[in-house]
Structures are given as structure tokens and as C-alpha cells.
A and B are shown apart, each in its own frame.
Chain A
Amino acid sequence: MERTIAWSLYTAAFVIAAIVFIAGVYVGTLLDKSDIQVLSREVESLSQDLTTMQLLFLIDDNSSAFCPLYESELSSIEEKREKLGYELTFLEEKRKIDAPELKKQYFILEAQSYFLSKKLKESCNDKTALVLYFYSNKNCTDCGRQGVDILSARDALAAQNIKIRIYSFDGEIGSQVAEGFVRQFAVSQYPTTVINGNVHSGYISKDELIAELLK
């Protein structure tokens, strides 16, 4: 028999498949935008919480009577802030959605939160350890495992009722806040970890982190 190739059918299928595929891509981009909007709203809400907290501190600058309230308020804000940080990282790493402006806004909130925690430590004798973690998404081979080790160390110490707050900053994203911290702590390489004011350049293992945090 004379064999043929059904070109017209293959072409028609290609055109329809391309239309369906492009429609899928379009809906996908709408989903990306909607996710960014959701996170933007979370950033706004967190910003309001932090501003309120700052005002509270201003009202009762030197009083320790309100310390339990501040501690509980800040814990709740920190929880929100941390979750938002993970969500932003998830969008960036897993969904490949770049939202640099949102990330910069987040770093501002993170810095605000860091200063409030520092203030709480000073005013209310809070024992929570503060960790600043500087990383880069561009030129850093150890940043991935450093992030994991910091979280593991925090989880390990949490079992011993030792509280740790972590503030992560991408030093190369062009955020003025992050760059300010980089200058303050003279960060020259990534990863760099600052534990209660002590700077550790380069990768530092989970055990070393725990030892440093227990000091």
C-alpha cells in the first residue's frame, strides 16, 4: 500500500495544542501575580504590626511593666515575619518568581524587627539570642547548607527552651538596609553569621553554631 503522513491533522493538533499551552502559561502568570499580591498584603500587615510595636516602645520607653506584653506581641510578629520569609524564599527558589522589590520591603521589616528584638533584650532582659545571617544567591556555594544548619541549630536549641531569632539578608540584592548591615558588620564573604554581635565569616557548622549560641 501507499503510505501517507496526515500532515494536516498533525498541524491542526499542533496549533490547538499550542493555543491550550499558551493559555495555560497565561493562567500560570496570573497565578504568579496573584501570589505576589497575597505576599504584598502580608508585608503590609506585618509593616503595620511593627509600626504599632515601635509606637508602644516609644510610649513606654523605660518601663519594664509592659515587658510580658511586648514579648508576647513581638513573638507573634516574629512568627508572621518568619513565615513570610519562608514564603518569599519558596516563591523565589521553587517557583522561580523574582520579586526583588517585595524582598527589599521584607528586609526593611526584618531590620525593624531585629532592632525591636534588640531593644526588648536591653529593656526587658530578654534572653533570646539574635542571629544575623548574610547570604548571596549569586556567588555562594555554602549558603544553602549554612541556611539549613542555622535552622537545625535553632530547632535543636528550641528543645532546650533556648529561643533564637534569625534574620537573613541577601547581601547582593541591592537593598539599602542589607547593605547597611553588611557595612556595619564588615561582611566580606558569604555566608557570614553574626551571633549576638560576634561575626563569623564563612561556613560554620551546626555544632559550632550551637556552641556559640550557648555561650
Chain B
Amino acid sequence: MELIDILNYSVAFFTIYTTVFFLLLFFKYKKDYYVTPKWSGARPLVSIVIPAYNEEKYIKKCLDSILALDYPREKLDVIVVDDGSTDRTAVVAKEYEKYGVRVFSKRNAGKGAALNYGIERARGEFIATMDADSYVTPKVIKALLPYFEDHEVMAVTPAVKIAPSNSAIREFQRIEYLMILFSRKLLSYLDSVPVTPGPFSIFRASVFKEVGGFDEHNLVEDQEIAMRIQQHNYKIRSSVSDDSTVYTEPPDNIGDLLRQRVRWQRGGIRNYWKYRFMIKPEFGNYGMFFIPLNFATLSAFFIVLGLLLNAIFNNPFYTRYILLESMVLSFNMFTVIGVVVLLMSFVWLYAAVSSFKSERIKLRYILLFMIFYWYLMVCYNVLMAVAEIRREKTSW
């Protein structure tokens, strides 16, 4: 057996295995999917820290949604950290000081630094981080706080979604967010939640004293803090209930979208590399499955790309005389397995989207998402992210 065959077989098996594993995980915990714990104690003080940099367009909607929360007003401590905005963000935010919102302005130092600045000034027993371009639904705190009944839970993530629209690019991102949400929920059953998203993840305030604040030099600081919490063997829970919904504003043009995703990918690769020491049995599923899965997926991506390019460009000279016939003759075992994997990916995607009963997405969008967005986006992101990391290394 040649190396190319071994790579082909390995990637094919790996892809089938991963898809089957996540589908099994879903079926195993399907009944618990929407079950949320009940809160038995008194209402604790919750601080909401909103770092904002040039968000004059969105911050009003964000603050309005927070003031409309179904939670005692006196138990809310809302902090806006204006991170050196050059627009009217601070002016808009200061209009809410009459409602008890505290607004701080500081020199621009990035989102992580702004979050830490706000956390240092927070008074609550629990601290929610909030992106200024997002807005909450009224019951979100009541939906998320009960998870903290378990004292080992240090963070809870909400159901971050994108509001329906007529724009294809937004609809694709909407599907993508549901898929991410679905995966995060399933990973929570393995104690492997990989990220505490910027829009309204709630933390037990004490966790920042134990594990430290946000990494101020990280491209995806909300992922890094989650990995640090995992490193300390604390639990992170994830909610998918409608009550825990937070809407976020996605990039509405392809350029911004690509830049955002490449940044996520680049930061993600760096973070997994940073926390590779957690690949140990003592970190359970997180150490023995989740982190290796990310490295394996990245490797599989390059193997598949190599195999694909080899299949396209390394055809023998004579195939130009039998173009059509060679295409038919190219159907082999890997074509069959490829089709199986494709179908299973569709089942996975469909299961993810349809698990959210309140989200109605047209089947044609799911198909278009799969064909024109998902694979192409992953391809672009990984290649660009790796290229950028290589450039950084060269410049160092």
C-alpha cells in the first residue's frame, strides 16, 4: 500500500468516525437538550461589562435590550467601557447613566484590556460580558443563572444567534451560528465547551481571581479564557433554550466576514497550540478527544487538499485523450466513502438546524450553505490563517 492510499484511508475513516461520534452524542443526549436547571436561591447581583470601540451604531440597541431584561433592576450593574472610540459611542452610552449605567472611557488597548478594565470595577457575584453590537432577549439572565447551582460551573454560554433576514450572506451565517451552537451544546456533555462567546457569556466573578482575566494580546480572547477555565478543571455549561437567546450583528459584507473568520481561525490555531499540553488523560474528553480532534482536523484538511490537487493536476498525460472516460473510471471506493461522508455531513447539519424548533430555515438555504459557504469558507479561512501565521513567524 502506498503512502497516498494510507492517507486516503486514514482521512476517510477519521471523517466517518468524527461524524458518527457527534451524531451518537446528539442521540444520546437528545432528551436533555433543552432541559435547564432551576434556580432556587435569591437573585444575585449581576454585572454586565460592555467593551465598546466605535459602536455608536449599535450600542443604543444593546443598552435598551439590557434595560429591558426581566431581572430586578437593582440587581444589575451595567458597565460600559469605551475603549478609546473615535466616534460618538461614549456620548450615546452616557445618555444611559441616568438609568444607573456606569460609563468609563480609557485609551484604546483592545477588547481583552477593556473587558479586564470593566471586570476590575464590577461589583456583581456574576459577571456577564457583552458585545456592544449584540442585544439580549429579556429572560436571558434567568435562563443562564440556574446552571450556577452547580458550584463547579464557572461560566455559562447563551444561545448566540443571528436574527432572520432576507440577505443570503446573513442567512448562511445564521445557519453557521446554529451549527456552532449545536456543537457547543453537545461538547458541553463532554465537559469540552471550547469558547465563552463575547455576547453575554456569564462568569462566576471569582473565576477571574482564580484563573486570571482575559488575555489582552489574544486574537480570540473569549476562546482563550474558556481554555484556561478548562485547564483549571472547572465546568462551562451551554444553553440552547429560546429564553437564553442573544442576537448578534454579523458582518454584512463578504470582506469583513472573511477577515473576521480568518482572525478566529488564526487565533484558534494559536490557542490550541498554546494549550497542547492538555493532551493528557487527566483532562478527560477535553484532553484526549477535543484538543487532538482540532489538530487532526487541521491535518486532515491539508491531506484532503493535497489529495484533491493531486487528483486534479497529477493526471497521467494520456488522460487528455479519454477525458470523459477517465472521469467515469475515477469513481472508486473513495468516491463512495466521500458521498457517504457528504450525506452524513448533511444529516449532521440538518440535525443541528432542525434541533432549534423556533428557527425556521429553508432547506434550500441549508443545501446552498453546504455547497457554497461551509467548505469554501473553511478552505479559505484555514489557508489564509496558516499563511498569516507563517508570515508572522518570518517577521519575528
Contact = CB atoms under 8 A, between A and B. Distances in A.
Interface of A: 1, 3-6, 9-10, 12-14, 16-18, 20-21, 24-25, 27-29, 31-32, 35, 82-83, 86-87, 89-91, 93-96, 147-148, 151-152
B332 interface: yes
Chain B interface, >50% SS class: helix
Give the one of A3, A4, A9 with max B CB within 10 A. Answer: A3
Contacts of B281: 5
Contacts of A16: 20, 24
B177 interface: no
A4 B235 CA distance: 12
A3 B278 CA distance: 12
B275 to A, nearest CB: 15
A1 B233 contact: yes
Contact of B321 (A12, A14, A86): A86
Query: Interface of chain A, helix or strand or loop or mixed?
Result: helix
Contacts of A3: 191, 233, 282-287
A31 B332 CA distance: 6
A168 to B, nearest CB: 10
Closest 3 CB pairs of A and B: A28-B333, A3-B284, A13-B21
Interface string B1-19: 0000100000011001100
Nearest to A95: B332
Contacts of A35: 329
A12 to B, nearest CB: 6
Given A5-B289, A20-B16, 14 more contacts: A1-B233, A3-B191, A4-B191, A5-B281, A9-B24, A10-B289, A16-B20, A17-B17, A24-B340, A28-B332, A31-B335, A83-B325, A86-B321, A86-B325
Interface in B9-37: 12-13, 16-17, 20-21, 24-25, 28
How big is chain B's contact interface, by range? 35 or more
Given A3-B285, A13-B17, A151 B317 contact: yes
Contacts of B25: 9
B316 interface: yes
A171 to B, nearest CB: 19
A207 to B, nearest CB: 17
Given A3-B191, A31-B336, A83 B322 contact: yes
B234 interface: yes
A12 B17 CA distance: 10
A94 B321 contact: no
A21 B16 contact: yes
A93 B329 CA distance: 12
B167 to A, nearest CB: 37
B41 to A, nearest CB: 21
B336 A90 contact: no
Nearest to A85: B318
A82 B325 CA distance: 13
Which of A10, A13, A93 has the largest count of B CB atoms less than 10 A from its CB? A13
Contacts of B24: 9, 12-13, 16
A167 B212 CA distance: 75
Contact of A90 (B190, B322, B334): B322
Given A5-B285, A32-B332, A21 B12 contact: yes
Contact of A24 (B17, B28, B319, B337): B337
B13 A21 contact: yes
Contacts of B329: 35, 87, 90-91, 94-95
Nearest to B325: A87
B318 A27 contact: no
B330 interface: yes
A11 to B, nearest CB: 10
A28 B334 contact: yes
B297 to A, nearest CB: 15
B285 to A, nearest CB: 6
A93 B24 CA distance: 39
A17 B191 contact: no
Contact of B340 (A10, A20, A29, A96): A20
B285 A87 contact: no
Contacts of B286: 3
A6 B190 contact: yes
Contact of B284 (A4, A95, A151): A4
Contacts of A32: 332-333
